[in-house]
Chain A
Amino acid sequence: MAANSPPAFDEQTLLHALQQGDRRACDELVRHYAPRLYNVALRLVGRPDEAEDVLQETFIAACQKIKQFKGKARLGTWLYRIATNNGLMRLRRRTPAISLDELAESWEEAEPHIVQPWPEDPEKAVDMAELRAVMEEAIRTLPESLRMAFVLRDIEGLSTQEAAEVLGISPGALKVRLHRARLLLRERLAEYFASAQEEGTR
C-alpha cells in the first residue's frame, strides 16, 4: 500500500455509520466507490458527463436507501447493481437493446483467426500509447452485454457470482458472455501485435 493511502477500508463499520445517518460516512462511501463505479458507468454509457449523472443518481439513491440494505450482497455489489441499472436505463432511452441476431454475430466474430504468439512482455514490445488506443477502441466496440461482463469480471475483479448478480443473469450466462468478450478483445489485440511484428521485421 502506498504511504499516502487512506486508512484500511472496513465495509461493516462504514455500513453501520451510514445506517446511523452519519454524513461523513457518505463522503467515505463516495470516496471509496466512485472510482470503481465511474469506470463501470463510463464503459456503459460512453460519455463522461452521462457517467457523472449516473454516479450522482447512484450515490443519492444509495444514501437514501441504505437502511433497506440487508447485507445479503456486499455493499460494492449492491452499488454496482444500482449504477448498472441507472446506466442501462439511460442507454435504453438512447438505443434499443441489442438483438439476439447481433449477439449471434458477435459469437461468429469471436472465432479466433490470428493464433500466433505475442511478445513475452507485450507492454515492452510496442508503443504503449498506441496499444492503449487499440485497447480502448476494442472495448468500446464490444456489444454492451459482453462489455459489461468483461468490465465487471476482469477489470473490476468481481467474482462470477457477483458480476452475474449485478447484471441480473445466471453465472452460466455470465461465463458465456465473458468468454466471448475475451475472445473478441484478444482477436483485436492479436491483429495489432501481428501488424506490429510485421512492421518490425520489414
Chain B
Amino acid sequence: MSVSRAEACRRWLNALCEYMDGELDEELCAELERHLAECAPCTTMLETMRHTVALYRRWGRAELPEEMLQRLKSIVHSHLSSDTEASTA
C-alpha cells in the first residue's frame, strides 16, 4: 500500500462513522464512495463497524428484571402518597 493511500485511508477512517449514520456532507459522501470502490481495507472497516453496531443494537440492552419493575412501581407510588399526605397535612 502506498503512503498516500495509507494517508487517505486514515483520513477516511474518521469519516466512516458519520457516513454510516447518514450525517456526512453530500460531497464528501461521493468522494468517500469513490475511495471505498477501490479500497478493500476501508470497505472491510465500514462493514465490520456496521456489524458491530448491529450486534450491539440487537444484543446490547441489559434486560430489566420483572421483579425490579414491580418494586420500582410500588416505591414510586409510596413516595407520591407520602408527598400528598405531607402536603395536605
Which residue of chain B lies nearest to A132 when distances are taken between CB atoms in the complex?
B59
Which residue of chain B lies nearest to A56 when distances are taken between CB atoms in the complex?
B75
Complex contact B56–A185 (CB within 8 A): yes
- Candidates A23, A135, A156; contact of B55 at CB < 8 Å: A135
Q: Which residues of A contact B83 (CB under 8 A)?
A: 64
A152 to chain B, nearest CB (A): 12
Q: Which residues of A contact B72 (CB under 8 A)?
A: 30, 34, 52, 55-56, 59
Interface SS of chain B: helix, strand, loop or mixed?
helix
- For the complex, what is the distance from the CA of A150 to the CA of B21, rounded to whole Å? 13
Complex contact B57–A59 (CB within 8 A): no
Complex contact B80–A23 (CB within 8 A): yes
Among the listed stretches A7-15, A71-79, A80-88, A116-124, which one makes contact with chain B, having 4 or more residues with CB under 8 Å of it? Answer: A116-124
Q: Which residues of B contact A183 (CB under 8 A)?
A: 13, 49
- For the complex, what is the distance from the CA of A27 to the CA of B62, rounded to whole Å? 21
Complex contact A118–B47 (CB within 8 A): yes
Q: Which residues of B contact A117 (CB under 8 A)?
A: 44, 47-48
Complex contact B69–A118 (CB within 8 A): no
Tell me whether B14 is interfacial, beta carbon within 8 Å: yes
- Candidates B16, B53, B64, B79; contact of A38 at CB < 8 Å: B64
Interface residues of B in 30-89 (CB under 8 A from A): 41, 44-45, 47-49, 51-53, 55-57, 59-65, 68-69, 71-73, 75-77, 79-80, 83
A130 to chain B, nearest CB (A): 12
- Asked if A116 meets B44 with Cβ closer than 8 Å, knowing A122-B51, A160-B23, A182-B52, the reply is yes
Tell me whether B8 is interfacial, beta carbon within 8 Å: no
Complex contact B76–A43 (CB within 8 A): no
Q: Which residues of A contact B68 (CB under 8 A)?
A: 34, 38, 48, 52, 55
Q: Which residues of A contact B79 (CB under 8 A)?
A: 60, 63
Q: 7 closest pairs, A vs B, by CB?
A: A179-B17, A38-B64, A186-B52, A155-B60, A35-B64, A42-B62, A39-B61
